[in-house]
Amino acid sequence: MSFIRKPNIAYKGQRTNALGLSMRDYEGGMSTLCAGCGHDSITSALVQAFFELDIEPHRVAKLSGIGCSSKTPAYFLSTAHGINTVHGRMPAVATGANAAARDLYYIGVSGDGDSLSIGLGQFAHAMRRNLHMLYLIENNGVYGLTKGQFSASADLGTKAKKGEVNEQPPIDPVKAALAFGGSFVARAFSGDKDQLLPLLKAGLKHKGFAMIDVLSPCVTFNDHEDSTKSYAHTRQFYHPAVHTDFIPPAEAITINYAEGDVVTVELHDGSKLVLCKVQPSYDPHDRAAALSYLEKSEAKGEIVTGLLYIDENRSTMHAVNNSAVKPLREIPYEDLNPGAAKLVELQSRYR
Amino acid sequence: MSDETQSRVNDFVIKLANVNGTGSASANSLLMKSIFRMGIPVMGKNYFPSNIQGLPTWYEVRVTRDGHTARSGNVDLMVAINAQTYTQDLAEVSAGGYLLYDSTWQRSRELKRDDVTVIGVPLAGLCNEKFQGARARILMKNVCYVGVLAALLDIDLDVIRTLLEETFASKVELVKSNLEAIELGYDYAREHFDCPLPFHVEPMDKTAGHVMIDGNTAAALGCVYAGATVGAWYPITPSTSLMDAFKVFCHRFRVDPDTGENNFCIIQAEDELAAIGMVMGAGWNGARAFTPTSGPGISLMNEFIGFGYFAEIPAVLFDVQRVGPSTGMPTRTQQCDLMSCAYASHGDTRHVLLFPADPAECFESAVTAFDLAERLQTPVFVMSDLDIGMNDWMVPELTWDDGYQPDRGKVLNKEELEQAETFYRYLDVDGDGICYRSYPGVHPKGAYFLRGSGHNDKGQYTEDAGEYRDLVDRLRRKWNTAKELVPGPVISGSSNRLGVISMGSCDGAVREAIAQFERKGVSLDYMRLRAFPFSETVRRFIDDHEQLYVVEQNRDAQLRTLLINELEPDVAKLVSMLHYSGLPINCRFIIEAIEASLDKGVAA
Ligand SMILES: Cc1ncc(C[n+]2csc(CCOP(=O)(O)OP(=O)(O)O)c2C)c(N)n1
Ligand code: SF4
Ligand SMILES: [Mg+2]
């Protein structure tokens, strides 16, 4: 995490967004991750996504657990609050923060160890509650920060740097998310920004729990030959099932898509997702079909990516709880306290 | 009436031995409430099993004209309804006492005591004749013994009738059948026995201005009045009823009249790790948030408690203590989590604890806890226990000062952040160890990155030796500030020689024991601790005394250990009096323990 601040130098021709902010305003501290680490590419895509969505940086709350991946919130949006919680428990903190104030953008960044090993329970329950947040798993198949042990997402037969072979089946966060009630389930690759960027935007605008499993190679401990989470392996077996275009509310759809392969999804704020299916029969609203497609592709060794499932209308935690739209801390104390007279009245039942 | 008899009016103990799940709880509370309504102070304790149906359960009612709040240690009248525990129940009756049993069935001949008067009433027989259906017969058998007791003890039938009418309100049929059962027992007893017994009740006027309330309900009310908005929890006895009550009160008082929205959010978490994590998230985001739990939950919450301490996040935890270790005895009481809460989590940590002594103080402690948590920006524990939390106690009516304003602590708002040249989250501007914080989303200048890893006063990550030491030394400074912010001890007496130190639910039994010693000419001073850390006053009290009895309800003298660890007093003068059976401490235990110690002192 960073104690090295980047100098904020304005340069000529710098692009600004609707808020008059430049990309630099969306950056964070200098990364202390290994050069070439997949996590850093995701960070740069995030910076761009927030910038292009014209989101005020301080209206974002960044959360993470523990791990190399969990350090990344320090590397974007330096004027947003961040909280680096404990290993595997970020979903609970996000739930409480969200309960207290539902008017911020919540983004959680986790790792495969953080979400699928130690934190599998909280990850599952956050989806079950359909917590309103964007949740990224920067998935490298290992515990980077503790130096390369297999995580729960390590594939069968994959080899560790020191030669050990993984004999246990992986937990696929995408399949897990489909099973646990995730309302926005996607997979991407840190090496393909074109695909990742619209997914991040869509996830930020989705009302509910948007889970993106981002394959993000660990160059230090899991990028060798015989590793199934290396850049080379991922590139080779990478298989986009759905391509997503994100269209902000005010903009019209201008691209001409081939007839029949396109599904348009309108989000709650009016933005549109144009899902262009590589596989014509694929239906991103059909959970059972998504699961079966994943199983079949997996058998062929394909790594399926894209926005694989969306239910834009599932009730969120707040809808279920009928909780106030206003942040709870802003509700005047007078409205929270019933007052002395009510206390007297109430106690008649205890006499 | 002889003096002996007169001395027992409104001063005796009834114990009721029942089978769990047979509806005895409502009959027993009807009994207690009627005595309370007659203006006579009462104490009620429920000893229930960790079971839904079938295991033995007891209820103890102490009628106490002097208003004692603890058990006396005697049983004057045993209502032995449970055949399974009959032998044990008979053995427990004090000499000269009475035992009431269901004589529908013959009891074994060997079971006899010459010093106990046995009263047989064919409760089942009477009810089977009168009522239809198995369930009704079982329920009515309980109500029927309340009728018998009303005759034996001279309880006002009108009071019972009013209570039944209030309880069943619109269900006229139920009022009618319950009254029939009462009269069945009442008439039988009047016909067959000399009523009332030598000890019985006579109306008084000593319960005006009082209520019968349990600590969990009172604590939940405290959360409502303190302005708590987020509650996260995972069910565990004996804390569950706290969140149940909070929910009921919120639905009553916290639904916005204009929007219909809930001005609160209650989340039933997947476990205690998540519950405390949610509290941390909400506290970070500026809501007053809390979690009720018990020992096993505290064990699970440890990592986050340390996080809250180190990253400085306000949080309130209610630990309604039950018997440990491990699952222990979930439905029995103890004060066994003092150490595990005071120093919860790895690394150098210290946490603020509050020690309410009864439900009224649970109400107050809840409010104090939120103020302290936000003032000190740290987790604060309200150390209740099963006895306080789940039993109805007679306490002065709860009162509220409408002038109260919550202490939200040092928080910079939007305007202040706008004006500020710089904002550093962990800079000790005022020298009291407490820094300024900002809420997420308020202003870009307020942004900081909160972490449980090493950080400097600017909130930046560090592994620097000096910066780390500065941080933990400041937390120590904050701890010293806390010593004078927490509620101080309640001290009585000034003999300055012998004294008692105690806290929490021991208080009633201690005060009663001290009063009895006073009558015998032995003066004992008393310091009741209300919080951890200990203030200077606590140190002085210990310094000023030659011998101090530390009364607490656990095996390992945890309170004494805390005193020794924090204050480094002369350890020889702190003598432990430990009660840890799982039943609430009683006055007799304390008297006997202190007497033994005094005798030893004389002999030496
Ligand atoms: C309770 C606890 N146990 C163990 C650790 C040690 N630990 C730190 S990070 C980590 C694994 C992180 O793996 P992952 O989430 O995949 O992140 P990556 O470093 O691979 O990005 C472990 C085991 C810890 N911080 N806390
Ligand atoms: S160890 Fe792996 S995951 Fe961690 S920073 Fe280095 S490359 Fe990234
Ligand atoms: Mg990993």
Note the ligand closest to the C-alpha atom of A118. 1
Query: Which one of 3.40.50.10490, 3.40.50.2300, 3.40.920.10, 1.25.40.10 gives the CATH number of domain B3-208?
Result: 3.40.920.10
Q: Pick B284's closest partner by Cβ from A74, A83, A333.
A: A83
CA–centroid distance, residue A137 to ligand 2 (Å): 14
Q: Using DSSP bridges, classify how beta strands B210-214 and B117-121 pair: parallel, antiparallel or unpaired.
A: unpaired
- Inter-chain residue contact A95 with B439, CB threshold 8 Å: no
- Inter-chain residue contact A327 with B285, CB threshold 8 Å: yes
Give the per-residue SS3 of B71-111: ECCCCCEEEECCHHHHHHHHHHCCCCCEEEEECCCCCCCCC
pLDDT for position A278:
75
In chain A, which among 17-76 make CB contacts under 8 A with chain B?
A: 57-59, 61, 63, 73-74
Q: In the structure, which protein residues have their CB atom closer than 6 angstroms to any atom of ligand 2? A: A 33-34, 37, 39, 68, 140, 144-145, 218-221
CATH number of A23-321: 3.40.50.970
Task: Compute the distance between CA of residue B499 and CA of residue B528 in angstroms, rounded to an integer.
Answer: 11
CATH number of B490-603: 3.40.50.920
In chain B, which among 291-310 make CB contacts under 8 A with chain A?
A: 303-304, 307
- pTM, two decimal places: 0.96
Task: For residue B103, give both structure tokens.
Answer: 């004589």
- Inter-chain residue contact B266 with A344, CB threshold 8 Å: no
pLDDT for position A261:
75
* ipTM score of complex: 0.96
Task: Compute the distance between CA of residue A85 and CA of residue B307 in angstroms, rounded to an integer.
Answer: 8
Let me know: does B265 contact B232? Beta carbons within 8 Å: no
Across chain A, mean pLDDT equals: 93
CA–centroid distance, residue B132 to ligand 3 (Å): 67
pLDDT for position A3:
43
- Inter-chain residue contact A57 with B444, CB threshold 8 Å: yes
Domain ranges of chain B: 3-208, 213-396, 414-485, 490-603
For residue A259, pLDDT beyond 80: no
Strand partners, B395: B211
Closest chain B residue to A98, measured at CA: B282
For residue A255, pLDDT beyond 80: no
What's the gap between Cα B86 and its chain centre? Answer: 29
Band of the pLDDT at A2, cuts 50, 70, 90? very low
Nearest one of B362, B365, B427, B422 to B389, comparing CA atoms: B362
**Range in A127-141, A204-218, B103-117, B295-309 with the lowest mean pLDDT:** B103-117
Q: Pick B263's closest partner by Cβ from A98, A317, A331.
A: A331
- Inter-chain residue contact A101 with B230, CB threshold 8 Å: no
Closest chain B residue to A124, measured at CA: B270
Task: Say whether B490-603 and B3-208 share the same fold.
Answer: no
Token look-up 């009522």 returns: B131
Contacts of A114 (CB under 8 A, 6+ apart): A64, A65, A66, A67, A69, A70, A87, A88, A90, A137
| Closest approach atom of ligand 1 to CA A153 | 16
**B344-361 b/e (C-beta count within 10 Å ≥ 16 → b):** bbeeebbbbbbbbbbbbb
Measured between beta carbons, the chain B residues lying within 8 angstroms of A340 are 399-402
Task: Compute the distance between CA of residue B303 and CA of residue A87 in angstroms, rounded to an integer.
Answer: 10
- Inter-chain residue contact A83 with B451, CB threshold 8 Å: yes
> Ligand 2 atom 2: the closest Cα is on which residue?
A218
Task: Compute the distance between CA of residue B291 and CA of residue B311 in angstroms, rounded to an integer.
Answer: 18
For residue B214, give how far its alpha carbon lies from the nearest alpha carbon of chain A (Å): 10
Domain ranges of chain A: 23-321
Residue percentage of chain A with pLDDT more than 70:
95
Give the largest Cα separation in chain A, rounded. Answer: 76
- Which residues, given as ranges, of chain B have pLDDT below 50? 1
pLDDT for position A1:
36
Strands (E), A171-261: 184-189, 209-215, 238-240, 242-247
Q: Which helix (H) or strand (E) holds B30?
A: helix B24-37
- Inter-chain residue contact B452 with A351, CB threshold 8 Å: no
For residue A67, give how far its alpha carbon lies from the nearest alpha carbon of chain B (Å): 12
CA–centroid distance, residue A315 to ligand 3 (Å): 31
Phi-psi region of B219 (alpha: psi -120 to 50; beta: other; left: phi over 0): alpha
| Closest approach atom of ligand 2 to CA A38 | 8
Q: In this complex, is the C-beta atom of B287 within 8 Å of any C-beta atom belonging to chain A? A: yes
How many beta-carbon contacts under 8 Å exist across A and B? 229
CA–centroid distance, residue A64 to ligand 3 (Å): 13
Give the per-residue SS3 of B566-579: HHCCCHHHEEEEEC
- Inter-chain residue contact A347 with B452, CB threshold 8 Å: no
Nearest one of B162, B150, B179, B195 to B31, comparing CA atoms: B150
Q: What is the mean pLDDT of residues A169-195?
A: 96
For residue B259, give how far its alpha carbon lies from the nearest alpha carbon of chain A (Å): 8
Let me know: does A198 contact A126? Beta carbons within 8 Å: no
Task: Compute the distance between CA of residue B156 and CA of residue B203 in angstroms, rounded to an integer.
Answer: 9
Burial (0-12, 13-18, 19+ Cβ within 10 Å), B208: exposed
| Closest approach atom of ligand 1 to CA B303 | 1
Measured between beta carbons, the chain B residues lying within 8 angstroms of A73 are 449
For residue A121, pLDDT beyond 80: yes
- Inter-chain residue contact B449 with A333, CB threshold 8 Å: no
Task: Compute the distance between CA of residue B504 and CA of residue B319 in angstroms, rounded to an integer.
Answer: 12
CB atoms within 10 A of CB B187: 14
Task: Compute the distance between CA of residue A100 and CA of residue B280 in angstroms, rounded to an integer.
Answer: 11
Measured CA angle at A316 (ends B312, A153), to 5 deg: 70
| Closest approach atom of ligand 1 to CA A66 | 9
pLDDT for position B51:
85
Q: Pick B265's closest partner by Cβ from A122, A328, A344.
A: A328
Q: Pick B267's closest partner by Cβ from A78, A99, A338.
A: A99
For residue A6, pLDDT beyond 70: no
Class of the domain covering B213-396: alpha beta
